[in-house]
């Protein structure tokens, strides 16, 4: 130790507190200004601690399993009777499911149904409950090395649990659907309404932004609606429940407080590219070079004449000079993509005239139903 | 050479402690904070204990306050800072918020130390309750302002009450440890 006088040592001791306070304020501001540093620091910590956490969690799981087994021994007779009656019901449902599967297969065969791309998935154990007072998130022991990417969908055994927000080296953080930062577009199955499921840090996320003339119905199923192009359609989320009149919430199928194993699916929804919409006002010009090599004019097709002409199917008589040097005059905006605006695609269905159905057949992407590969208990 | 050997004897010079002795003293000094950090890390594991996550800040606050009052050498400013930063890294709160709040709690406790040590337990407990409520609300304010969103207040109230409830058993345990562990405070 360096010999210093008592006075100097006391003065230095007194300086520690303000210095550290300033340092913590600096860290706060740094983390606020540059989120990436915060995320990197967090995930580095989580990577270091996740083996320890999984080690700690293992006996915990075993103990809780043993306790629940002891518990179930106590109610064996009653449980047996209950299981018997449940089994009867399930047998009926099994018959229904088999016949429906058969019918579905036949229908799909007759319709030349294009199958959904099978999502790839990895399964990971929840090794850390790293939420806090103001957040709900879990850490799993699978990372980019196992194919987990930011934005992937995490499903528990019974339903939608959350989405991957950050990845470390061999761990990933999943923001649960009841976190205050979570907003998921959902579809209400029996009232056919849409809504946004907003987490509020309670166990039941709220439903907001539903149509005022079509309220959610108590007890109806809630599935994801895939509208934001981030999630596939039809992942089961939960059921609607009214805690007060006028405040519908979703009680999730997934037991968010007791997640132990989650499956992380990569649906690759981002790879679906919308086809060109001829005659529409181009919104983005992603392909700057045309096929014939000329640099594209970004204002091509944005003149009123071009839009009117293609929308109504009648020529406005040479008011748009750039059309004359285009060989395929009926497709002025054919080199544009509109993939950022799916509503343009929907409007095409209603627009009259010049879109032959054969041209659009490629745009029907079979994403309407959701099916998972069978998996064991999660 | 002097004939009187006693003239060389300097009573002010003490022999420096050996390395093992120093390590031992350092371990004693870091034990309370180390145990607190360990418990916080263990509680963050999904053990299935209900409300384990909510216990972490409460336990850490009780530990910071108790050791700051009774043995500030064990809960020094850098140690408090590291503890707060660790909780920030484990949790989801913005980095630095817990560290800042804990440093303020530590500073207040050390400043009022000699007054607090004279109080009886109930008064000390009430003082701690006041201080930790302030810390909880400060953290709430910082998190809300850093994320531009008013965070729900129910968890803060729950946290305040939980922390106040944690303190008596923690203080009992701490008192026992305080008496048993050898004191790393500089003995003057």
In-domain check, residue A245: yes
Please check whether residues A245 and A139 belong to one and the same domain. Answer: yes
User: Counting beta carbons within 10 angstroms of the beta carbon of residue B137, is it exposed (0 to 12), middle (13 to 18) or buried (19 or more)?
Assistant: middle
Query: Rounded to the nearest 10 degrees, what angle do helices B77-90 and A35-74 cross at?
Result: 70
Going by the DSSP 8-state scheme, the letter that residue B11 receives in this structure is T
Other residues' Cβ atoms within 10 Å of the Cβ of residue A40? 13
Element housing B117 (H / E):
helix B113-118
Question: Which residue, of A229, A249, A265, is where some domain finishes?
Answer: A265
Task: In whole angstroms, give the CA distance from residue A188 to residue A166.
Answer: 29
Question: Which residues are registered as beta bridge partners of A153?
Answer: A163, A265
Task: In whole angstroms, give the CA distance from residue A39 to residue A167.
Answer: 9
User: Counting beta carbons within 10 angstroms of the beta carbon of residue B147, is it exposed (0 to 12), middle (13 to 18) or buried (19 or more)?
Assistant: middle
Say if CB A184 and CB A197 are below 8 A apart.
yes
Say if CB A127 and CB A171 are below 8 A apart.
yes
Please check whether residues A261 and A131 belong to one and the same domain. Answer: yes
Which chain A residue's Cα is nearest to B73? A13
Using the Cβ of B81 and the Cβ atoms of chain A, whether some distance falls under 8 Å is answered with yes
Please check whether residues A49 and A132 belong to one and the same domain. Answer: no
| C-alpha distance from B56 to closest chain A C-alpha (Å) | 9
Please check whether residues A260 and A144 belong to one and the same domain. Answer: yes
Indicate yes or no: CB of A28 within 8 angstroms of CB of B81: no
Please check whether residues A53 and A125 belong to one and the same domain. Answer: no
| C-alpha distance from B168 to closest chain A C-alpha (Å) | 22
CATH code assigned at A136: 2.40.10.340
A64-97 burial, b at 16+ Cβ within 10 Å, e below that, comes to eeeeeeeeeeeeeeeeeeeeeeeeeeeeeeeeee
Query: Which pLDDT score is estimated for A97?
Result: 95
Please check whether residues A28 and A141 belong to one and the same domain. Answer: no
Give the ipTM of the model, two decimals please.
0.81
What domain count does chain A have? 2
> How do residues B109-156 score in pLDDT, each as one tens digit?
999 888 888 888 999 999 999 999 999 999 999 988 888 888 888 888
> How do residues B38-48 score in pLDDT, each as one tens digit?
998 888 887 76
Question: Which residue, of A19, A38, A57, is where some domain finishes?
Answer: A57
Please check whether residues A27 and A163 belong to one and the same domain. Answer: no
In-domain check, residue A103: no
Find the CB nearest B96 among A27, A54, A133: A27
Query: Which pLDDT score is estimated for A309?
Result: 45
In-domain check, residue A321: no
Task: In whole angstroms, give the CA distance from residue A370 to residue A232.
Answer: 7
Residues of A with Cβ-Cβ distance to B53 under 8 angstroms: 129, 131-132
Indicate yes or no: CB of B46 within 8 angstroms of CB of A134: no
Task: In whole angstroms, give the CA distance from residue A359 to residue A328.
Answer: 15
In-domain check, residue A369: no
Please check whether residues A132 and A256 belong to one and the same domain. Answer: yes
Task: In whole angstroms, give the CA distance from residue A44 to residue A46.
Answer: 5
Residues of A with Cβ-Cβ distance to B45 under 8 angstroms: 52-54, 56-57, 60, 127-129
Task: In whole angstroms, give the CA distance from residue B178 to residue B188.
Answer: 18
Query: Which pLDDT score is estimated for B183?
Result: 63
Residues of A with Cβ-Cβ distance to B146 under 8 angstroms: 28, 32
In-domain check, residue A234: yes
Please check whether residues A125 and A223 belong to one and the same domain. Answer: yes
Say if CB A247 and CB A206 are below 8 A apart.
yes
Using the Cβ of B48 and the Cβ atoms of chain A, whether some distance falls under 8 Å is answered with yes
Please check whether residues A148 and A229 belong to one and the same domain. Answer: yes
Question: Is the pLDDT assigned to residue B76 strictly greater than 60?
Answer: yes
Q: Residue written as tokens 């630095």?
A: B96
Q: Residue written as tokens 């939980």?
A: B162
Task: In whole angstroms, give the CA distance from residue B151 to residue B144.
Answer: 6
In-domain check, residue A323: no
Using the Cβ of B159 and the Cβ atoms of chain A, whether some distance falls under 8 Å is answered with yes
pTM higher than 0.95:
no
Please check whether residues A49 and A135 belong to one and the same domain. Answer: no
Say if CB B114 and CB B64 are below 8 A apart.
no
Query: Which pLDDT score is estimated for B185?
Result: 57
Which chain A residue's Cα is nearest to B95? A28
Please check whether residues A151 and A232 belong to one and the same domain. Answer: yes
What does the pLDDT profile of chain A (378 residues) look like in tens digits?
566 788 888 888 788 889 999 999 999 998 888 888 888 888 888 888 888 888 887 887 788 888 888 888 888 889 899 999 999 999 999 999 999 999 999 998 899 887 766 778 899 888 877 777 778 888 898 888 888 888 889 999 888 999 998 888 888 989 999 888 888 999 999 888 999 999 988 889 999 999 888 889 999 999 998 776 678 888 899 999 998 888 999 999 998 888 888 999 887 655 556 666 666 565 555 544 444 444 444 444 444 444 444 444 444 444 444 444 444 444 444 444 334 444 444 444 444 444 444 444 443 433 444 445 444 443
Q: Give me the mean pLDDT over the B34-55 stretch.
A: 82
Say if CB A140 and CB A116 are below 8 A apart.
no
Indicate yes or no: CB of B95 within 8 angstroms of CB of A16: no
In-domain check, residue A44: yes
Domain that holds residue A34: 6-57
Question: Which residue, of A32, A57, A82, is where some domain finishes?
Answer: A57
In-domain check, residue A180: yes
| C-alpha distance from A211 to closest chain B C-alpha (Å) | 25
């Amino acid at each position: 130790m360096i010999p210093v006088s008592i006075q100097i040592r006391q003065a230095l001791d007194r300086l520690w507190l303000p210095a550290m306070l300033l340092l913590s304020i600096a860290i706060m501001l740094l983390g606020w200004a540059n989120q990436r540093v915060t995320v990197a620091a967090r995930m580095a910590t989580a990577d270091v601690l996740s083996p320890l956490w999984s080690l700690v969690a293992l006996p915990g799981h075993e103990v809780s399993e043993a306790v629940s087994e002891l518990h179930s021994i106590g109610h064996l007779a009653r449980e047996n009777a209950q299981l018997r009656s449940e089994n009867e019901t399930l047998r009926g449902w099994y018959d229904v499911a088999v016949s429906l599967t058969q019918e579905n297969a036949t229908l799909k065969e007759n319709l030349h149904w294009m199958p959904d791309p099978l999502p790839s998935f990895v399964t990971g154990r929840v090794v850390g409950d790293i939420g806090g007072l103001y957040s709900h998130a879990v850490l799993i022991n699978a990372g980019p090395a196992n194919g987990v990417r930011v934005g992937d969908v995490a499903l528990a055994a019974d339903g939608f649990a959350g989405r991957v927000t950050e990845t470390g080296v061999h761990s990933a953080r999943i923001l649960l659907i009841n976190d205050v930062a979570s907003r998921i577009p959902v579809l209400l199955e029996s009232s056919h309404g849409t809504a946004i499921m907003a987490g509020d840090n309670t166990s039941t996320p709220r439903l907001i932004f539903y149509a005022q003339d079509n309220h959610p119905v108590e007890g109806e199923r809630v599935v994801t609606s895939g509208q934001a192009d981030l999630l596939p359609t039809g992942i089961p989320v939960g059921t609607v429940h009214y805690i007060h009149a006028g405040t519908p919430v979703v009680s999730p199928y997934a037991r968010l407080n007791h997640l132990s194993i989650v499956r992380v699916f990569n649906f690759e929804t981002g790879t679906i590219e919308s086809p060109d919409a001829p005659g529409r006002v181009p919104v983005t010009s992603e392909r700057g070079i045309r096929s014939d090599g000329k640099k594209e004019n970004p204002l091509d097709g944005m003149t009123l004449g071009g839009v009117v002409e293609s929308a109504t199917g009648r020529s406005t008589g040479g008011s748009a000079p750039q059309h004359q040097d285009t060989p395929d005059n009926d497709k002025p905006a054919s080199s544009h993509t509109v993939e950022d605006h799916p509503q343009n695609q929907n409007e095409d269905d209603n627009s009259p005239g010049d879109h032959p159905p054969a041209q659009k057949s490629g745009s029907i992407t079979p994403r309407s139903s959701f099916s998972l590969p069978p998996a064991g208990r999660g | 050479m002097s004939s009187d050997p006693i003239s060389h004897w300097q009573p002010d010079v003490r022999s420096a402690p050996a390395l093992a002795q120093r390590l031992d003293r350092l371990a004693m000094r870091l034990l309370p904070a180390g145990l607190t950090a360990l418990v916080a890390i263990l509680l963050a594991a999904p053990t299935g204990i209900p409300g384990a996550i909510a216990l972490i800040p409460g336990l850490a606050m009780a530990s910071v306050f108790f050791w700051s009052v009774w043995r500030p050498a064990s809960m020094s400013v850098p140690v408090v800072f590291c503890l707060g930063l660790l909780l920030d890294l484990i949790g989801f709160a913005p980095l630095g918020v817990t560290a800042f709040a804990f440093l303020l709690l530590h500073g207040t406790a050390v400043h009022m130390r000699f007054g607090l040590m004279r109080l009886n337990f109930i008064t000390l407990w009430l003082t701690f309750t006041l201080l930790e409520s302030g810390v909880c609300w400060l953290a709430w304010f910082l998190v809300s302002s850093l994320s531009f969103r008013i965070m729900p207040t129910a968890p803060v109230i729950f946290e305040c009450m939980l922390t106040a409830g944690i303190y008596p058993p923690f203080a009992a345990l701490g008192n026992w440890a305080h008496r048993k562990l050898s004191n790393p405070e500089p003995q003057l």
